[in-house]
Amino acid sequence: MKITTLKSYEELSSTVANIVERQLKKQPLSKLALPTGSTPRGMYRELIKRELDWSHTITFNLDVYLMNVNHPESYQSYMKKNLFDRTNIYPDHCHFPFRPTSAFEDKIAGSMGIDLCILGIGSNGHIAFNEPGSSFLSRTRVMDLTEQTIVDNSRFFDDVGDVPTQAITMGLGTIMESKKIVLMANGDHKLNILNVAMNGEVTEEVPASVLQNHDSVKVFYCD
Ligand code: F6R
């Protein structure tokens, strides 16, 4: 698969923001699947600057930690701070995975599916929180986070012991039903896993490798 290397984090952020902007302008009633984490922050900043009309847009976050949603590091807090509170999107249109997870799946299906899914990638090849070994057919479910993910994400918390150990994540099967997918990766520590996932063996041990089976995926990287 082609990996497009961009010159800077700013270019990565504006390139993916351009894709989101085009989607919202072409189809105001778009359903987006959205990531959190450090990689997409710049893209969200770009989108806010552009003052787009989000009033018809529906969002589904890829994953949430199982934790108090009011905690500053919850993904609900992240989305409010980085996007939702700074656009005209309706809070009722913003969905996060919840239990029963089948009801979250029903919400996606009831909205006629995801038009554009933006992904990051974890250092172990996870997408959303589908950790290595996740079935390619998996649906939204509770996932135990791996030690690697907990350590990677401890940078957002005071102590590694404060990092939630479980999350609710969209499944790989759910993600693969998106009409279009864009994966963004930032930092040379992601380059190896990105190459393995996009051009190595398609295996459940490398969850992002499932994207090789999708016919509309764009992959952007900057170091
Ligand atoms: C978070 C998510 C995760 C992250 C991945 C990379 O919603 O879906 O898969 O995209 O863990 O995180 P960062 O961007 O912090 O390196």
Which H or E run contains 105?
A: helix 101-110
CB-based contact 13:45 (threshold 8 Å): yes
Cα–Cα distance for residue pair 150/4, rounded to 1 Å = 29
Question: Is residue 175 very low, low, confident or very high in pLDDT (cuts 50, 70, 90)?
Answer: very high
Pocket residue to mutate for ligand 1, from 76, 129, 174, most atoms within 8 A of Cβ: 129
Q: Is 94 in the pocket of ligand 1 (CB under 6 A)?
A: no
75-98 per-position pLDDT tens digit = 999 999 999 999 999 999 999 999
Closest ligand 1 atom to residue 40 Cα is 14
Q: Is 35 in the pocket of ligand 1 (CB under 6 A)?
A: yes
Q: Is 39 in the pocket of ligand 1 (CB under 6 A)?
A: yes
- 71: DSSP letter: S
Q: Is 62 in the pocket of ligand 1 (CB under 6 A)?
A: yes
Q: Is 172 in the pocket of ligand 1 (CB under 6 A)?
A: no
| Token code pair at residue 213 | 């089976």
CB-based contact 202:155 (threshold 8 Å): no
CB-based contact 1:217 (threshold 8 Å): yes
- Which phi and psi angles does 26 have, rounded to 5°? -70, -40
What pLDDT does residue 139 have? 98
Cα–Cα distance for residue pair 71/140, rounded to 1 Å = 22
Indicate which residues carry an active-site annotation.
63, 124, 126, 131
- Which phi and psi angles does 216 have, rounded to 5°? -140, 75
Cα–Cα distance for residue pair 94/126, rounded to 1 Å = 23
Residue nearest to atom 11 of ligand 1 (CA): 122
What pLDDT does residue 213 have? 98
Please give the distance, rounded to the nearest whole angstrom, from the Cα atom of residue 86 to the centre of ligand 1. Answer: 21
3-state secondary structure 157-207: CCCHHHCCCEEEECCHHHHHCCCEEEEEEECHHHHHHHHHHHHCCCCCCCH
State the average pLDDT over residues 40-53: 98
